[in-house]
Structure 1
Amino acid sequence: MDFNGVDLNLLAAFDALMQERNVTRAAARVGVSQPAMSAALGRLRAVFGDHLFQRSAAGLLPTARAQQIAEGVTLALQQIAAVLQPEADFVARTATLTFTLGLSDYPAFVILPRLLSALALEAPDVLIDVVSFSGRDDAVALLDAGKIDVAIGVAPTVQESRIMTREILRDEFVTLVRKDHPAARKGMNLKAYLALEHVLVSPEGSSYGVVDQALADHGKKRRVQIALPQMFAVPAILARSDYAATLLRRVALHSAVAGKLAIFPPPVSLPQVAFHLIWHRRNDSPSAQTWLRDHIARVAGELMSGH
């Protein structure tokens, strides 16, 4: 192919280099030799007047110019592929493929079991791989690298045109103690809350979270005795101790010790937490990807309605 003197096959080479960040793997991706890919990179540099990729110990690092054109190149190649090879409709019952999901702790605990149960019935030969992440912007890096098809987590901190989001679930904070705790009998007002020792969930390892900020706004401070990087162990810890914790409601309700916990509204106002589907624009149109996102949203909707 030729357009104004530019071989459009170079765009496929560029896209492969962006995805793989390695000349040898990029060559294998598009079915050419490693020397041919190296030559293509040299021609790309001449076309764009930029080095495009810098070698590093971690692989090829794209320059600012490469990042600027990457999304447009990917979309152009997808449009060309759609013209040349119209996509067949996705049929869940007979599909044999693997989706890779990026999940933070909460959706892995609350959504994933229901999702897998539904998939076993509706798409028995569809497989799911899970990649975990903790920081809310980690999903963007995974999507940019093509390591996941879709993520479920809190929306990224920065709105990016190439990254698309769809809210699917909300949850609220509740305060928990064991059922036979003295505070459970007396009621959980602010004074009683501040008298307790608390467990904090902090993926970043901080001892200061959204609850502490809300308390600080009222000139108050709680005593955090334990900070954990994930939430799964907290209900079991509370059921066997005098600690309190403020967690999302469904974490408590889905735990094995839910019946041993007393649940109270927090003594200060806290915002609800919204969870989103997060995907790259390059995965927006394929019918299999659309089916997956709609399926996840349906399962989350059932959780929202209490089914």
Structure 2
Amino acid sequence: MDLHGIDLNLLVAFEALMAERSVTRAGTRIGRTQPAMSAALSRLRSLLNDELFVRAPNGLQPTARALDLSEPISRALSEIQRTLEFTQIFDPTTSTISISLGLSDHPAFAFLPHLVALLREKAPGMPLSVRNFVDRNDAVVMLDANEVDVTIGVPPAASARIINANLFHERFVCIARKDHIIAGKPLDMQTFLEQSHLLVSPENERFGVVDAALAKMGLKRRLGLTLPHMYAAPALVASSDMISTVLEGVVKASGHADKLCVMTPPIDLEPVQFTLSWHRRNDTHPAQRWLRDLILAAAPS
């Protein structure tokens, strides 16, 4: 059967006829005139190649074919109704729709546990899937492809298709092991430059924000190790003579804070902003709007 030729209103008329067993009453039930209902019944008979309803002393009598179709059509119409209502009404306590997040490493460690706990409390039936990305512009690719509902990371390149909202920011700190020779003292520029540095570069660049700031002053630090995994840095620093300049939240969430001395860098570094991003096509979707509101409300202050 070619579904392109099926008018959904015919199925509504069929359900009304099954319920009322009268063309006139069925028309009243769904707001149609008696001639319009008769025309709908005629089209149904032609479409399904069956009489469907025959006259009887007490009204219309459904045929065996009509009885076979009654439950599946009623179920299909109910499902369509729920789907259309879903576009207007969303109840997270009863919803079972899946949600998906794209996260860079730091939000996954620092923010995801709290968010998961909130989701289990507010929306226990909604399964969550998480995808990782490294390059900030991968967030745009994932959102364009509808692979995730929202992303959390550093702001991607500006795009008219993507909407961003500031979520939280992190300041930079310097870390060294607790018994390092520089631990417990104010960190001046000379001491800073004399150390062997661990550079965290998720995008595998050998020139980070610290190096860029130093270059503006005609200075350069000595790199001992470059790696893409920011959450490996605290453990490596805690067991070596290297120091590192990392996000404060990385230290707190690493599990190694008690082994480290945290110091203020001797150079002004702008905090790193993390944003919640979503595709413009999903801006008014009730479920996704609820998800975004929950994430924004749960963000660290």
Paired residues for 1:63-74 under 5 Å:
none
* Paired residue type of 1:97: I
**CA deviation digits over 1:78-124, x for unaligned, max 9?**
xxx9xx93524221111112111111111111111110111121111
Mapping of residues 150-165 of structure 1, within 5 Å: 150-157=150-157, 159-165=158-164
Counterpart-to-counterpart distance in 2, 1:97 and 1:143: 18
| C-alpha distance in structure 1 between counterparts of 2:243 and 2:125, whole Å | 43
Give CA deviations for 1:212-262 in whole Å, capped at 9, x if unaligned: 010111111111111111211111111111110101111111111111111
Task: Indicate conservation of the 8 Å contact 2:184/2:261, yes or no.
Answer: no
Distance 1:282 1:186 in 2: 52
Query: Distance between the aligned counterparts of 1:233 and 1:116, measured in 2?
Result: 23
The Cα shift of 1:186 comes to 3.4
Which consecutive unaligned segments of at least 5 residues does structure 2 have? Answer: 1-79
Match of 1:275 in 2: 274
TM-superposed deviation, 1:288: 0.6
Q: CA deviation at 1:183?
A: 0.5
For residues 38-77 of structure 1, the aligned pairs below 5 Å read: none
Question: What is the one-letter code of the residue matched to 1:208?
Answer: F
CA distance in 2, matches of 1:126, 1:222: 48
CA distance in 2, matches of 1:204, 1:123: 35
Name the residue aligned to 2:202.
203
Matched, 1:167 2:137: no
SS in 1 for 2:184: helix
| Alignment-derived partner of residue 126 in structure 2 | 126
Q: Name the residue aligned to 1:135.
A: 135
Residue pairs, 1:115-264, within 5 angstroms:
115-157=115-157, 159-264=158-263
Q: Distance in 1 between matches of 2:297 and 2:226?
A: 34
Count of residue pairs brought into register by the alignment: 221
Q: CA deviation at 1:187?
A: 2.8
CA contact (8 A) 2:177 2:238 kept: yes
Q: Which runs of 5+ in 1 are unaligned?
A: 1-80
Amino acid at match of 1:211: V
Corresponding residue for 1:55?
A: none
Find the counterpart in structure 2 of residue 105 from structure 1.
105
Deviations along 1:264-288, one digit per CA (max 9) or x if unpaired, are 1111100111111111011111111
Cα separation, 2, equivalents of 1:226 and 1:99: 38
Give the whole-Å Cα distance in 1 for the aligned partners of 2:109 and 2:217.
32
Aligned-residue offset at 1:178: 1.1
In the alignment, the residues of structure 2 paired with residue 187 and residue 179 of structure 1 have an alpha-carbon distance, to the nearest angstrom, of 14
Equivalent residue for 2:93? 93
Please state how far the C-alpha of 1:143 moved relative to its aligned partner.
0.6
How far apart, CA to CA, are the structure 2 residues paired with 1:128 and 1:214?
39
Normalised to the residue count of structure 2, the TM-score between the two structures is: 0.70
Superposition deviation, residue 185 in structure 1 = 3.3
Identity of aligned residues (%): 44
Tell me how far apart the structure 2 counterparts of residues 241 and 268 of structure 1 sit (CA, whole Å): 23
User: How far apart, CA to CA, are the structure 2 residues paired with 1:161 and 1:216?
Assistant: 34
Alpha-carbon deviations, 1:43-97, whole Å to 9, x = none?
A: xxxxxxxxxxxxxxxxxxxxxxxxxxxxxxxxxxxxxx9xx93524221111112
SS of corresponding position for 2:276:
strand
Distance in 2 between residues matched to 1:156 and 1:204, nearest whole Å: 13
Distance 2:237 2:269 in 1: 21
What is the rounded CA distance, in whole Å, between the counterparts of 1:111 and 1:105 in structure 2? 10
CA–CA distance in 1 between the matches of 2:185 and 2:276? 41
Letter in 2 for 1:185: G
Taking the aligned partners of 2:185 and 2:194, their CA distance within structure 1 comes to 13
In structure 2, the residue matched to 1:26 is none
2:117 counterpart letter in structure 1: S
Offset at residue 144 of structure 1 (A): 0.6
Partner amino acid, structure 1, of 2:251: A
Cross-structure match for 1:60: none
Corresponding residue for residue 297 of structure 1: 296
Q: What do the CA deviations read for 1:177-210 (whole angstroms, capped 9, x no partner)? A: 1111110133311111111111111122121100
